[in-house]
Amino acid sequence: MLTKKNQFENVLLDYTRYLRTEQGLLENSIKSYKQDLSEFGAYIQKENILLVKVDRFTILDWLNYLQNSGKSNNSIVHMVSSLRKFFAYLSDDQQIQIDPMLKVTTPKKNSHLPQVLTATEIEAVLAVPDISTTLGLRNRALLETMYATGFRVSEICNLKLADLHDELGLITTIGKGQKQRIVPIGEMSLLYISKYFRIDFF
C-alpha cells in the first residue's frame, strides 16, 4: 500500500517528466522546482494533509512557516511560482478539483539598490592597466569607455571601431532587445582608443 509520501513522490515524478518532455525545461530549472515541491511535500506529510485536500489556507500556513523559518522573500516568491505551476498542472490533469493557488497572491521581490563605486575606487580601477604595453592600452580604453558610457560588459565586447563617431563624440551600441543606443563618449575614452589604434582623433 502506498504511503502519503510515496503518493506525493509519484505525482512529483510525473510532474518532472512533464516539465522535461512537454515543457522542455532545462535540468537546472527542473531541479529547482523539484526542490521547492519536495519541501512542500514534506510539510503536508508532517501536517497529515493529503495532496488533494490542500487548500488556500494550507498554502498560506506553509508560506507563513517559511517566513518564520527565516527564508528570504525572494525564496518565498520562487516557492509561490513553483506551487502555482504545480497546482495548475494538477488541475489541468484533473488530479484536483480546485486549484488552491488561484487565490494566493505572489509577494513582491526584494529590490536592491546597485552598489556604486566611489570616485577614488574608480580611479584605482582605471589605473590598474599598464599603459606602457599594448594590452594595457586596450584595457584602459575599454575601462574608460565603460566608465564614460555605462555600457554593459556584453555591449563592450561587441563594439566595433565603426560604432565610434569621434567627430561627434558619440558611440553606438546594440543593447537589450536588439535596441540601438547612441551615447556620448568622453575625451579620455577617445584618447586611449586613439592611442591603442594609433589613430589621431584630435
Model confidence at 2, pLDDT cuts 50, 70, 90, reads very low
Do 8 and 96 share a domain, yes or no?
yes
Do 183 and 154 share a domain, yes or no?
yes
Q: In the prediction, which pLDDT does 114 show?
A: 57
Percent of the residues in the chain that have a pLDDT greater than 90, as a whole number: 59
Q: How far apart are the first and last CA of the chain?
A: 84
State the average pLDDT over residues 54-81.
92
Residue 202 placed within a domain: no
Q: In the prediction, which pLDDT does 106 show?
A: 78
Angle at 14 between CA 4 and CA 80, to 5 degrees: 75
What DSSP designation does 115 have? P
Residue 113 placed within a domain: no
CB 51 within 8 A of CB 11: yes
Do 127 and 98 share a domain, yes or no?
no
Number of domain units in the chain: 2
C-alpha grid cell, residue 154 = 556584453
Residue 5 has pLDDT above 80, yes or no: no
CATH of the domain at 15: 1.10.150.130
User: Which of residues 114 and 122 earns the better pLDDT score?
Assistant: 122
Residue 90 placed within a domain: yes
Buried b (16+ CB within 10 A) or exposed e, 148-179: bbebeeebeeebeeebbebeebebebeeeeee
Do 149 and 84 share a domain, yes or no?
no
Model-level pTM greater than 0.75? Answer: no
Residue 91 has pLDDT above 80, yes or no: yes
C-alpha grid cell, residue 96 = 484536483
Rounded Cα distance, 126 and 112, in Å: 26
Do 133 and 188 share a domain, yes or no?
yes
Give the end of a domain, one of 69, 103, 137: 103
C-alpha grid cell, residue 46 = 508532517
Model confidence at 66, pLDDT cuts 50, 70, 90, reads very high
Q: In the prediction, which pLDDT does 90 show?
A: 95
C-alpha grid cell, residue 62 = 506553509
Rounded Cα distance, 190 and 202, in Å: 9
- CA-wise closest residue to 192 among 137, 143, 127: 137
What domain range includes position 181? 119-197
Rounded Cα distance, 188 and 180, in Å: 23
Do 91 and 181 share a domain, yes or no?
no
Q: In the prediction, which pLDDT does 175 show?
A: 74
Q: In the prediction, which pLDDT does 94 show?
A: 93
Do 126 and 99 share a domain, yes or no?
no
Do 133 and 84 share a domain, yes or no?
no
